[in-house]
Amino acid sequence: MEKIAKNESNDEWMNEFGMPDVVYVHPTTGAKFYIGDESAASNLKTLEKCGIYNIVNAKGDQGKCYHEADSRFKYLRFQVSGSYSFPGINTPEGVLKFFGPAHDFID
């Protein structure tokens, strides 16, 4: 049974690990970029409340895409832990090349 914590407005929809964090807000559109954990990614009410429907699964093929059967959600499987072996990852150009697919999906 999942533990639910009440948020400040007394709505019972936030799991015990809380909300994903907003790390960027687009200055013109107001679009938000969130970073969250697996608990947030698995919680349908949390995703809907935040308006999150495009998700980068940073565990790649090892992670579960909890709502992929729901056509509102789009996923990118992106293996972040593979970065250490990516050719040129220790250069700015290598970092940009490695994160290119994630950038294109997010943008």
Contact yes or no for 58/83 (Cβ under 8 A): no
The string of pLDDT tens digits covering residues 52-74 is 999 999 998 888 999 999 999 99
pLDDT (0 to 100) of residue 17: 55
pTM of the model: 0.77
Contact yes or no for 30/38 (Cβ under 8 A): no
- Report the distance separating Cα 82 and Cα 14, nearest Å: 31
Contact yes or no for 70/54 (Cβ under 8 A): no
Residue with tokens 């349908």: 44
Q: Which of 39, 37, 42 is nearest to 66 (CA)?
A: 42
Q: Which of 20, 16, 19 is nearest to 4 (CA)?
A: 16
Q: How far is CA 27 from the centre of its chain?
A: 20
Cβ within 8 Å of residue 68, ≥6 positions away:
75
Q: Round the average pLDDT of the chain to a whole number and report it.
A: 85
Q: Which of 31, 41, 37 is nearest to 68 (CA)?
A: 41
The string of pLDDT tens digits covering residues 4-52 is 444 444 444 454 556 899 999 999 999 999 999 999 999 999 999 999 9
